[in-house]
A and B are shown apart, each in its own frame.
Chain A
Amino acid sequence: MEQSRIRNFSIIAHIDHGKSTLADRILELTDTVTGRDMRAQVLDSMELERERGITIKAQAVRVTWKGHELNLIDTPGHVDFTYEVSRSLQACEGALLVVDAAQGIEAQTVANAYLAIENDLEIVPVVNKIDLPQADPDATAAEIADLVGDTPDHVLRISAKTGDGVAEVLDAIVERIPSPTGDPQAPPRALIFDSSYDQYRGVVAFVRVVDGSFEAREPLRAMAQGTRFESEEVGFFSPTMRAAESLGAGEVGYVITGLKDVSRLRVGDTLTSERTPAAQPLPGYKDVKPMVFAGLFPTDSDEYPDLRDALERLKLNDAALFYEPETSQALGFGFRCGFLGLLHMEIVRERLEREFDLDLIVTAPNVAYRVLTKAGEEVEVHNPSEMPREVERVEEPYIKASIIVPKGYVGQVMELNTERRGRFDHMEYLSEERVLLVYELPLAEIVLDYYDQLKSRTRGYASFDYDVIDFREGKLERVDVLIAGEPVDALSLIVHRDGAYARGRMLVDRLREEIPRQFFDVAVQAAIGSRVIARETIKAKRKDVLAKCYGGDISRKRKLLEQQKKGKKRMKQVGSVEVPQEAFLAVLNLDGSKK
C-alpha cells in the first residue's frame, strides 16, 4: 500500500473510558469482523483467542476505511509500562485521546497524552459516553482541549456504545493524522513495539516498518541486541493472523522469528536485513531495567520447583520480568524478582497464584539502589540484606508523580507527599474543580502503601501516575531485625535515616505480637549496624501442659500433641527460635494493613 494511504494510530484512554468498546465499533464499522463474529471487545479478549488456538494477542489490527489502510496499535494499559507505551506510540503518527464524558481527565490520560505529544503524534481528542445521563461533554471537551492545546469545537463527541459518531472518528483519522514518511527504497528498518511468545511458533515480533520492506525467509538482525534469525513468516492481524508476502514502508504487522526466548528480542530494538543492513538503528532504544524488587517464596517449600517452572513460563512472554534464585534462612528457597513497578509486580503475582495455583509469600518490595562502597566499588543492590554495611554513598530512584484530585483534597495530597519525602514541582488547574499536582518522590516511598494512602485520604478521588526520572543520593540506612541475636534476612529494610527509628520500632512491636512465646526469653531487636534502635523481649513460657490425662483422654491428647507438632513443622527456624510463617507475613504487610 502507498504510504499516503496508510494511517497508524493508537487509542489513549484511562481504564473504563471506552477504549475497547471503541475498538470493537471500529472493527465492526470497517467490516473487519461481521456481526456474527463480533464478540464484545475482540482486541482484549485473550480467551477468545485461546479458543481459536491462538495464544498470541493481537497488538495491532489492520482495518480498511474509504480506501485507506488503518492500523490500530494497542498500548499496554498501565503505568509500569511507560517505556512500552512510548514504543507503541512511536510506531504511530497519531492517537485518539478518549475521555469519559462523565469522569473527565485522569492522571493516566494526562501522562499518556504528554507521552504522545513528546512523540510528535497528532492527537485526535474524543469525548466518549455522551449518552450517559451524568455526561458533561462540554466541560470534558474543554478540559481535553486545554490539555492538548486544541479548541473545544475540534473535540469529537461520540458514544462508542451506541456507535454514534464513530464514523466521524474514522474520517478524522484519515483527515488529521499524517501518513508515514519512511523511505521505501532505503535498507529496511522496523521498530519492534511489542513481542509475544507462542509455544508452536516461538517469538512473534510486532513491528512498524519505517524504511524498506520485510519478507518471509529473510535473514534478519535486531540491531541493539545483535540477535540474528530468519523470518519464518510476515503478516498482519485483521483481526486474525494473516500471512502476507511482505510488509512495506509505513506498514504495521508481525514477524514470526522462530526464536525461543522473548528476552532476545527487546521492545524498542530495530530490525534490519542481514543482506542490506541499515547503517543506523531507529532512535529511542532503552534497556529497560527492573526498578522494584521483592522476594517470592512458596508457602510450601515443596512448591519451589513449581514456582521456578511458572516463572520460566511467564518470562517467555514478559521480557521485563527478572528473577534469580534466592535463599532466605527465614523463608527457605525462592526467587528475588525484579519488576518494572508495583503494578507489574501485582500482575506477576496474580498470574502465579491464579494461573499456576501457587501459594506465595511476597516480601516487602524495595527499589534498586546504586551503591558506592568505601572501597570505591559501584554496585547495584536489589535486596536490603545485600546492602554493604560500609558505604560511601547510596542513590535511589526518583519518580515524577502526577496526581489529579478535586481541589478540596489538595491539602491532603500535599501532606502525604511531604511525609514521603516528596518535592513539590508544580500544580495546574485542569478545570475549576480538578487540580494536577506534580511531585518528585523517591520511588521507595511509593512502593509500600502510597497508593492505598492516596486513595483513602482523597476518598478514592485521586488518580495517580508516575515515571522514573533519575537516581539521587539519599541518607539511607540499612535496618536489620534480629531475633535472639540472629539477623533475619527477609526482614532487613533500607529506609531513610529520619524514618529508621519509627520503622524499627514498628517492626519490633509487631514481631513481639506475632512470635509465640518460646521455652526461653527471646530478644527482638532492630539495629542499624551494631547500634540497636528498638528492642522488645518475648518472655519465656511458664507453663505448657495438658492439665489432665486419664484413660479416656489419651487419644485426644495424643492428637492434640500431633497437631502441636504439625504446627511446629510449619514454623521457620531462626537460630533456636521458632517463628510462624504468619509472623513474617504480618511484618511484611506492615505498611499494607496496619498504620
Chain B
Amino acid sequence: MSARHLYVHLPFCASRCGYCDFVTVVGQDGRHAAYVDALLVELALEGDILAPRLESVFLGGGTPTLTEPRSLERLLRALPPAEEVTVEANPETVTPAVAALLREGGVTRVSLGAQSFQPRLLEVLERRARPDDVRRAFAILREADFDNLSLDLIYGIPGQSAADLDADLSEALALEPEHVSAYELEAKPGTRFTHAHGEELARQADAMESYFERVVAGLTEAGYRWYETANFCRASERDLRSQHNLAYWRGWDYLGLGIGAVSTIAGRRWRTTPRLGRYLASLQAGERPQRELEELPPPVRDSERVLLGLRLDEPLSLAGLGDAVDAAAVERLERLGLIARKGSSLTLTERGRFLGGGVTAELLA
C-alpha cells in the first residue's frame, strides 16, 4: 500500500469564476499560513501511505499561486521530492518572484489557466486575467527556465464563434506550450452560470457541435499528440504527457491532501471534508479531518479502469477486465468503426474518441 502520486489542494482564489465547480475559498487571506500548517500535519499523518520516492506531485486549486508566498514556499520545501512537480497558476498571479519561488521549490511544470484569448469571453467566464497577462506569464516562466508549460483552454463559451475558437487555438500555439488541455465548458444545471447563459448555450448548441473536432484538428495539425480526451502534448523525445494525470487514467493509487481532496488507495476512495474551518480544527488538534469513504469493490474498479483507460490514445489491455465489458457491445461498436481490437486490447478509433462517453457507456457490462 504505497502511492507514488500526491495531490495537494490549495483552494484560495481572489474571486470565484461562474463556471467553476472545484472547492475554492475566497477572501480568507489570513488563513493561508494556517492552511499550509494543516496540510503539513495531514502529510505527516498519511506519510506512510506514500512510497519513498514519488513520481508526481500536483498542486491544484483554487489558485495555488495566489497562496501567500512564504506559506507556499514552506509547503514546497516540505513536500517530498518527485520527478514531476506541477503547479497550477492563474496568469495574473505570475510574477518573476513567484516564478523564482516555484523554480527554487522544485516545481518542474506549470499549468497556466489561460481559458481564452478573447477579452469578451474571459469576461463571460468571469476570469480576471486579460490576454496580455497570459502572454506575459508565459514569458516570465520561460525566463525562469521552465521547459514544461501547459495551457488550459475552454471552448463552447457562450457567444464564442468558430472564428473565436480558431483565434484562441492559434494564440495558444503561438506560445508553443509543451502541453494543452482543452475542455468543453460544462454548464451544470442549477448553477448561476447556467442560469445566466443557458439559453444562449442552447441556441448555439448546433453550431458548437463541431468545436471539439476543430480543437483536435487544430492541435494535431500543429504537431500535438491527442493523448487523452481533453489533453494534448507536443510530440517530442521527452514524454510531455502529464505524468500525474496519467496515473489517474491508468487507475493507479494517489493520495490527496487538503480540503475536498480525493485519495484512492488499495480499493478505497475517500474525500476530505470541503469545509475549511472543520479541516483546520481537526488538524490543529492533530487528528485526521472528516472524510467521506467509498469502497471500490473489484467490479467497480474494473469499470473505472475501462472508463479511464479508454480516454487515452494507448491500447487498453482487457486482461482481467473481461467481466467489465459487454462482449456483444464490443462486436457492435467494432462494426460501427468506433473501436478497434488488437489481441486482447482495445482502442477507440478517432471517431470513437469523439463519442468516447457514449461508447464507454455501451461497452460497460
User: Once the chains are docked, how many angstroms separate the CA of A550 from the CA of B229?
Assistant: 12
Interface contact B248-A554, CB-CB below 8 Å: yes
Interface contact A542-B361, CB-CB below 8 Å: no
Interface size of B by Cβ–Cβ distance < 8 Å?
46
User: Once the chains are docked, how many angstroms separate the CA of A558 from the CA of B299?
Assistant: 12
From known contacts A547-B183, A558-B300, infer whether A542 and B311 are also in contact, taking CB-CB under 8 Å. no
Question: Does A36 sit at the interface, judged by CB under 8 A?
Answer: no
Interface contact A544-B355, CB-CB below 8 Å: yes
Interface contact B307-A542, CB-CB below 8 Å: no
Question: Does A329 sit at the interface, judged by CB under 8 A?
Answer: no
Question: Does A576 sit at the interface, judged by CB under 8 A?
Answer: yes
Interface contact B294-A519, CB-CB below 8 Å: no
Interface contact A545-B300, CB-CB below 8 Å: no
| CB-CB contacts below 8 Å: A303-331 with B | none
B243: min CB distance to chain A, Å: 13
Complex partner residue of A544 from B230, B245, B354, CB under 8 angstroms:
B354
The A interface, classified by DSSP as helix, strand, loop or mixed, is loop
The B interface, classified by DSSP as helix, strand, loop or mixed, is mixed
User: Once the chains are docked, how many angstroms separate the CA of A552 from the CA of B364?
Assistant: 21
User: Once the chains are docked, how many angstroms separate the CA of A543 from the CA of B182?
Assistant: 14
CB contacts (< 8 Å) of B361 on chain A: these are 561, 564-565, 568
CB contacts (< 8 Å) of B332 on chain A: these are 576
CB contacts (< 8 Å) of B269 on chain A: these are 554-555
User: Once the chains are docked, how many angstroms separate the CA of A546 from the CA of B261?
Assistant: 20
Question: Does B210 sit at the interface, judged by CB under 8 A?
Answer: yes
Question: Does B213 sit at the interface, judged by CB under 8 A?
Answer: yes
Interface contact B262-A552, CB-CB below 8 Å: yes
B53: min CB distance to chain A, Å: 20
Closest residue of chain A to B22 (Cβ to Cβ) is A552
A575: min CB distance to chain B, Å: 11
Complex partner residue of B230 from A519, A547, A551, A554, CB under 8 angstroms:
A547
Question: Does A461 sit at the interface, judged by CB under 8 A?
Answer: no
Complex partner residue of A546 from B260, B271, B357, CB under 8 angstroms:
B357
Complex partner residue of A542 from B212, B230, B245, B249, CB under 8 angstroms:
B212
Complex partner residue of A548 from B7, B230, B307, B356, CB under 8 angstroms:
B230
Question: Does B279 sit at the interface, judged by CB under 8 A?
Answer: no
Interface contact A550-B248, CB-CB below 8 Å: yes
CB contacts (< 8 Å) of B181 on chain A: these are 548
Question: Does A114 sit at the interface, judged by CB under 8 A?
Answer: no
Question: Does B308 sit at the interface, judged by CB under 8 A?
Answer: yes
User: Once the chains are docked, how many angstroms separate the CA of A549 from the CA of B309?
Assistant: 11
Interface contact A561-B307, CB-CB below 8 Å: yes
Closest residue of chain A to B213 (Cβ to Cβ) is A542
Closest residue of chain B to A565 (Cβ to Cβ) is B361
- Identify the interface centre among A542, A547, A549, A562: most chain B CB within 10 Å of its CB: A547
| CB-CB contacts below 8 Å: B285-339 with A | 294, 300, 303-304, 307-308, 311, 332-333, 336, 338
Interface contact A542-B357, CB-CB below 8 Å: no
Complex partner residue of A552 from B183, B260, B307, CB under 8 angstroms:
B260
Question: Does A50 sit at the interface, judged by CB under 8 A?
Answer: no
Interface contact A542-B248, CB-CB below 8 Å: no
Interface contact A544-B304, CB-CB below 8 Å: no
| CB-CB contacts below 8 Å: B343-365 with A | 353-362, 364
| CB-CB contacts below 8 Å: B151-199 with A | 181, 183-186
User: Once the chains are docked, how many angstroms separate the CA of A91 from the CA of B210?
Assistant: 75
Interface contact B355-A549, CB-CB below 8 Å: no
Closest residue of chain A to B9 (Cβ to Cβ) is A552
Interface contact A544-B358, CB-CB below 8 Å: yes
Interface contact B304-A543, CB-CB below 8 Å: no
| CB-CB contacts below 8 Å: A107-125 with B | none
CB contacts (< 8 Å) of A552 on chain B: these are 22, 256, 260-262, 271
| Known interface pairs A548-B181, A549-B229, A568-B362; 18 further A-B residue pairs with C-beta atoms within 8 A, sorted by A's residue number | A519-B355, A542-B212, A542-B213, A543-B213, A544-B354, A544-B357, A545-B355, A547-B186, A549-B249, A550-B245, A550-B248, A552-B256, A554-B248, A554-B304, A558-B307, A561-B307, A561-B360, A568-B361
| 25 A-B pairs (CB sep. < 8 Å) | A520-B336, A541-B358, A543-B209, A543-B213, A543-B354, A544-B359, A545-B212, A545-B355, A546-B357, A547-B183, A547-B185, A548-B183, A549-B229, A549-B248, A549-B311, A551-B248, A552-B256, A552-B260, A554-B269, A555-B262, A558-B300, A558-B303, A561-B303, A564-B361, A576-B332
B interface list, Cβ under 8 A from A:
7, 22, 181, 183-186, 209-210, 212-213, 229-230, 245, 248-249, 254, 256, 260-262, 264, 269, 271, 294, 300, 303-304, 307-308, 311, 332-333, 336, 338, 353-362, 364
A interface list, Cβ under 8 A from B:
519-520, 541-552, 554-555, 557-558, 561-562, 564-565, 568, 576
Sorted from nearest, which 8 A-B pairs have the closest CB atoms?
A544-B358, A564-B361, A547-B184, A552-B262, A543-B212, A547-B183, A544-B355, A545-B357
